Amino acid sequence: MAWFRHDKFGMFIHWGPYSALAGEWNNQQIPPHTEAEWIMQRFNIPVADYRERAHQFNPVRFNADAWVALAKATGMKYLVVTAKHHDGFAMYHSEVSKYNIVDWTSFHRDPLKELSDACQRAGIRFSVYYSHREDWDDPNGFGNNWDYNPAKKNFSQYIETKAKPQLKELLTNYGPLGLVWFDRGMDTPQHAAEFADLVHSLQPQCLINGRIGSYKQELMGDYQDMGDNGMPSGGLDEDWETPQTLNTTWGYSKFDQDWKTPGVVIHRLVEIVSKGGNYLLNIGPMADGTVPQPSVAVLNEVGKWMSRNSESIYGTTASALPEFPWGRTTVKGSKLYLHIFSWPADRTIRISGLNNGVNSARLLLDPTHKLPVASQDGNILITVPAAMPDSRDTVIAVELDSPPVVAPPVVTQDSDTGFELNYLTAVTTGNAKKRFNRDGGFHIAKWTAPEDIASWILSVSVAGKYAIKIRYAAAKDWKDGQYILTVGHHEMKGPVKATGDGYQYATFDAGTILFPKAGQYRLELKPAEKYSHYLMYLESLTLEPVGQ
């Protein structure tokens, strides 16, 4: 995982026959905010017609070095290109199926080979996207129910004769791959494991993204992908990436000109990195092989920022500090990078919640001048020049006396409400991990033994009795589990009940607790014993006041 953790920023490329349709089929247009690479499914284009359009695909202006140079100039370190998207067309020379860019078109070149070579020359990590489940061209693939009768499909036939052999080609003929990016999940864990085994057997170093396995199921793969364009609130205890678009679509659409500004892209990059993730940012090249000019313009601006500030991105780790009114922070050892998105009118940057001494603070762009640092009421104050040197994100490098020391969050209550405790305010130890659940939600998982603890600090302002509700999901064979909930010296044991497969959260009463007086309390939840399975997928604990 070392390179993945260091590199932070990758280029996603969606390119295929759909790029030539560009969002239009038989004078019908896809709505501007939909995925143009889905056009075959959207208009139920017959396989024969789509194949004919694929036959005409001829990207005469494709230049692998130009794409890779664009990624590099943007500060991206890895590249993930669609080897086969859901439409089933291979964008590389495949012996498995003639339905590929070399044999099926008059282009006769292998863009993936050219990209792999160009990446090697430029020092960019080459990776492929492979749609392993969805295939709208293969009679037995998943997804095309307009040409093919789903009842007559033999999915294993598709996996064995197309998906696995093609993946094998990609793992054999294109040099070392950084990762394989699977999408939409496999139908069964067994099938997913076979794909993972295939990757590992041919390229042990190659990473696998989390979408290899089926949804609503425990993650397989080396890291998690958020949902498309997903942005977590933060606080995850795992490696993750978010695939995001530069406009709205992934594959090129002439109707989608809704480009993000360079400032938005830089702010997203910083936000993602400050939360410990990777940003896989997409371009959708056109049918002739060129990248839409607006994307190039945005990426070049991002690249200018990266060329001056990438020290505050590469090799950094998540910051325990929250978002501030002025921006966000990234961390590298004892260095704290302040990313100033909005310049303070009073020329003062305030950092609260940081229990460190400050050795120095300097503008990353002007390291010769130390900025004045003071402390006041537990806040660190840094005085900055009147003018904002970089209006998108000015970075201040702060040397601390040690890695950042940040107190865990304290959950407070309003006078008439209780508490909701979830992954965001939890502190985890041992194997208890705060995770994305792949279904759009977040939970605490992976705990199997009493040393795997989730805890919260509550600031109780209303003394009295509280009813506790616990909300979790648990599989059938986890129901021998018991949890221990501790508040101060009070300990309660509760049974874990099965809620169903996947992430079917349900709410259960977990008893009542008395807070005899106002003040801070620590609440802790853990497995009662060691189990051969997770305790539960904990979504939340809620505490409702029920009087004296």
Q: Report in angstroms how near the CB of residue 459 gets to ligand H79 at its nearest.
A: 41
Which CB sits closer to ligand H79, 43 or 442?
43
Which CB sits closer to ligand H79, 38 or 456?
38
Q: Which two tokens stand for residue 240?
A: 């993750």
Q: Report in angstroms how near the CB of residue 157 gets to ligand H79 at its nearest.
A: 22
The Cα–Cα gap between 106 and 103 comes to 8
**Phi and psi of 351, rounded to 5°?**
-115, 120
Which CB sits closer to ligand H79, 14 or 125?
14
Tokens 């294109």 locate to 174
Q: Report in angstroms how near the CB of residue 166 gets to ligand H79 at its nearest.
A: 17
Q: Report in angstroms how near the CB of residue 316 gets to ligand H79 at its nearest.
A: 25
Which CB sits closer to ligand H79, 133 or 392?
133
Q: Report in angstroms how near the CB of residue 21 gets to ligand H79 at its nearest.
A: 14
Which CB sits closer to ligand H79, 183 or 237?
183
Q: Which two tokens stand for residue 486?
A: 């501790």
Q: Which two tokens stand for residue 447?
A: 């705990």
Residues 69, 71, 75, 76, Cα dihedral to 10°:
-140
Q: Report in angstroms how near the CB of residue 162 gets to ligand H79 at its nearest.
A: 18
Chain residues in the site for ligand H79 (CB under 6 A): 14, 34-35, 37-38, 41-42, 183-184, 228, 243, 250
Q: Report in angstroms how near the CB of residue 82 gets to ligand H79 at its nearest.
A: 7
Please give the radius of gyration of the chain, using alpha carbons only, rounded to the nearest integer. 26
- Residue 548, helix vs strand vs coil: coil
The Cα–Cα gap between 39 and 19 comes to 10
Which CB sits closer to ligand H79, 116 or 242?
242
- Residue 529, helix vs strand vs coil: coil
Q: Report in angstroms how near the CB of residue 20 gets to ligand H79 at its nearest.
A: 16
Helix 293-309 to helix 64-74 angle (10° resolution) is: 40
Contacts made by residues 93-101, CB under 8 angstroms, sequence distance 24+: 93/173, 94/166, 94/169, 95/169, 96/161, 96/162, 96/165, 96/166, 96/169, 97/162, 97/166, 99/51, 99/54, 99/137, 101/57
Which CB sits closer to ligand H79, 38 or 341?
38
The Cα–Cα gap between 191 and 173 comes to 23
Which CB sits closer to ligand H79, 34 or 317?
34
Neighbour tally for 289: CB within 10 Å: 20
